[in-house]
Structure 1
Amino acid sequence: MKTKKSYGEKNDLNLKTLIALTKCFHSVRKRETTTIREGGLTLPQFAVLEILYHKGDLRICDIIEGTLSTGGNMTVVIDNLAKDGLVGRYPDPEDRRASLISLTEKGVKIMEDIFPRHVENISSIFQILEEDEKKTLVKLLKKLGGVEL
């Protein structure tokens, strides 16, 4: 019979907390992506369309920062979205070396279809929590992530 290895009460609790947080994240992410996949998009594609839908035309560097993505992957994602006619590129009038990425009509229509279902899905995921629990969770996650409140 295996005995449980201990690294001390505090360290064991830290490890247990990390495992619970990781399992929770994966579970929520899996349920979150349901409506995205049903809409025929990957998570990175949805992230690009979503930020453009809510923020307007952006440079690639702003999309990368806003979606917490990497540069190499983002170029491929945007190229694929452009091939599908969901986004377009045009020169940035403030910096001709840079391009702005914008949603096309087709991209807007897809977001108008998917995003309301995405919001409903997110609401169903978080309905298990009371409003004050959600606020506390946000505060704790920001604190743990070192994000300013």
Structure 2
Amino acid sequence: MGMLSGAGLNLRCAVITDLIVPKTRVGQPEVKLGIPPGAGGTQRLPRLAGVKAALDMIVSGDPVTAEQSVSLGICNQLIEKDLLEGALEFASKVGQAGGPHQLARDRNVVVEDGNYLKLSANKLNAVLAACGPRMRVLNVSKPRLSCLLMRG
């Protein structure tokens, strides 16, 4: 239970399998501090959750629930009972399936709505503007972040 955020989520995005327990919140809150998330959040998260969901998490800084993280593909399974027991059951199922889970880097990432990147850039600009004095540190980074979002 608790929060899987920032560098913790970046680390999660780098591993093959992750289990999560109820009441855990998952997010990329860096933007609320006026800084961009690390590479794990900007590169790997879209491969796991899809571009739209990842951009929503990145530019808003708002976390998702454990259940949402599983439905988005960020975490593999929600364990509602004893964590060790649930983890052993999960490992047994993976072993019986005869192969590993599909790796995030092997998934195709598709942007269905070309306007979504522009909308996300606008949302990012609004969030960064609301950061006030904290944003002075990143005034140099803001155009670069917007440019990266516009390029996809």
Q: For CA contacts below 8 A with separation 6 or more, give which structure has more relative contact order.
A: 2
TM-score (structure 1 length as normaliser): 0.27
Q: Which has the larger radius of gyration?
A: 1
If the length of structure 2 is used for normalisation, what is the TM-score? 0.26
